[in-house]
Amino acid sequence: MIERLLRRTAGEVRVRVTGASLPRFLNACTQGGVRLRRMERVSWDRMDATLSLGDFRKLRSCMGRTGCRVHILERRGVPFVLAHLLPRTALLAGLAAFCVMAYLVGTRVWEIRTDISPSLSESAVMGRLASLGVDIGTPLRSIDTPSIRRQMMVWDPDITFFALNLRGNSLTVTAHAGAAAPEVADEARPMRIVASHGGVVQQVRALRGEALVRAGDAVETGDVLIDSLVPPTRENGLPHTVRAEGTVEAYTVRRARSVRPLRKAKKSYYRKTCRLMSINIGKMTKKLYFGTGIAGGTCDKMIEAKTWRLSESVCLPVTVFVQTYRYYDAEPETVTAAQERTEMVRRALGAVIRETDGGRVLSLRSALEEKDGAAVLDLTVHAVEQIGSPAEGDASEGSGP
C-alpha cells in the first residue's frame, strides 16, 4: 500500500501497446531495464501496462524494430498535477499559501486560555510567561514545560500549582495559589459581643462568656450582649475574662428609601450605523472602516470578537474584532410612580437583605409618593437577623444594654 502510494506520488503512466510482435517488445523492455506492471493482454495484438515516469522516458530507446506502437491512456501523479497548475499562477499561489498556513497553524501557539486563581495577578503571570518566551506565535517545540514550571514557582512562592497544557495549537495556563492561613485568635485578648443593630432579642446562644440579655429584651446599637467577664462559678472562686463567642437573634426593623426620576430619556435609534473592524493575524493588526464613519453624536457601542476555529483545540491565527456604533436621539418620556413601584421595591428590598446578611424577612410595608418630579419610596422591613458582632473590650469599659 505504501509502495503504491509512493509510485503514485512520483508519477506513473498507463499505456497501450499494439502490434504483431508483442513478445519481441517484452524482450526489448527486459533488456533495457524497463519494468512493466499490471500488464493485461486485451487481444493477440494489444496489451495494456503501467510503468513509472522514468521507465516511460526510456521506452523509446527499447522499442527498436519491434514494429509496436505505444499510446498513452492515463497520466497520474504529482508531476502531472504540477504541470497542469503551472499556467494557473493564482491557483498555485493559493495552494502555496494554504500549505504555509497549515504549517504555521500546526506548529505554533495561536490561542492562550487561563485558569488562574483570583489571589494571583493574571497580568503579572502572563507578563512573566511572555518574558520566558511563551506568547502568541511561539513554536510548540520551543516550550520547555518542566523548566518553565520551575521558574514560575521560584518567581512567585505563592504559586502552589502551575501547569502548561498543550492541545493542538491551544495552550492552557493553570496557576493556583494555596489558601491563606486562617487568622489565629488571640485567646488572651478579651472580646465582647455587641449589638450591630437595635431590636428585640429573640434568642441568645452564649458559647463563651456571660449573656447579659435574654429573650424579650430591647437593645440598641452598641449594647453589650455577651460580656467577656465571667463571674465566679464556685465558692471562693475568682471572676475571669474570656474571648466571648455566641450568636444573638433579634427582631429588627430596617428602613430603606429609593428615589427615581419620572422624566426619562428614551432612545430612538435611526439608521446611522458605523462599524470599525480590526483583523488580527498573529500579532499584526489591520483596521478597516465600514458604514458612514465615526461622527459626533450620541451612540451605543458594541464590541464583538470572532476567532476562526477548525475544532475545539485548533484555531486559526485570525481574530476579527467588530465595533458597532448605533446612533440614536434622546426623546423625553414621562412615567408614573405606579409604573416604577415594582422596580423600586425590588431594589430597596435587595439592599435591605444584603444588610441583614442572611436574615429572614417577616413582613414589609411601602409608602410611595411623588415629590419634585420624582417617585419616592419608603420601605419598612420587619426581619429576624443575627445582630451579635465581636468587639474588643472587657468589663472595665462598662457592660449591659
User: What pLDDT is recorded for position 172?
Assistant: 92
| Interacting residues of 113 by C-beta distance below 8 A, sequence separation 6+ | 170, 171, 172, 173
Q: What's the total number of domains in the chain?
A: 4
- Are 137 and 317 in contact, with CB atoms under 8 Å apart? yes
Residue 33 to residue 87: CA distance in whole angstroms: 34
DSSP 219-263: E-TT-EEEESEE---STT---EE-B-EEEEEEEEEEEEEEEEESE
Same structural domain for residues 73 and 196? no
Shared domain check, 345 and 386: yes
Residues 6+ apart with CB under 8 A from 15: 48, 49, 50, 51, 56, 59, 70, 71, 72, 73
| pLDDT of res. 20 | 80
Looking at the fold, whether 204 and 236 belong to one and the same domain comes out as: yes
Based on the domain organization, do 44 and 149 belong to the same domain? Answer: no
Residue 268 main-chain phi, psi, to 5 deg: -115, 100
CA distance 143 to 164: 9
Q: Are 41 and 16 in contact (CB under 8 A)?
A: no
Cell numbers found for residue 298:
450620541
Domain co-membership, 381 together with 348? yes
For residues 286-324, one letter each, b for 16 or more C-beta atoms within 10 angstroms of the residue's C-beta and e for the rest, the string is eeeeeeeeeeeeebeeeeeeeeeeeeeeebbbebeebeb
Residues 209 and 255 in one domain: yes
Return the pLDDT at 384: 94
DSSP 8-class letter at 266: E
First to last CA, the chain: 95
Q: Are residues 6 and 62 in the same domain?
A: yes
Task: Identify whether the C-beta of residue 368 lies closer than 8 Å to the C-beta of residue 337.
Answer: yes
Q: Are 126 and 173 in contact (CB under 8 A)?
A: yes
CATH assignment of the domain containing 74: 3.30.70.260
The pLDDT of residue 183 = 60
| Domain assignment of residue 284, yes or no | yes
pLDDT at residue 294, rounded to an integer? 45
**Whether residue 235 is found in the same domain as residue 349:** yes
Query: pLDDT at position 396, please?
Result: 45
pLDDT mean for each 10 residues of the chain (401 residues): 76 87 85 86 88 84 77 85 76 81 83 89 91 88 91 90 89 85 64 91 90 91 88 71 88 91 80 78 58 58 81 79 82 84 90 87 90 89 92 58 49
State the Cα–Cα distance between residues 16 and 33, nearest whole angstrom: 19
155 within a domain of the structure (yes/no)? yes
| pLDDT, position 188 | 65
Q: Dmax over Cα atoms in the chain, in whole Å?
A: 138
Is the overall model pTM greater than 0.75, yes or no? Answer: no
Domain that holds residue 155: 107-177
Please identify, among 298, 330, 362, the residue that sits at the C-terminal boundary of a domain.
330
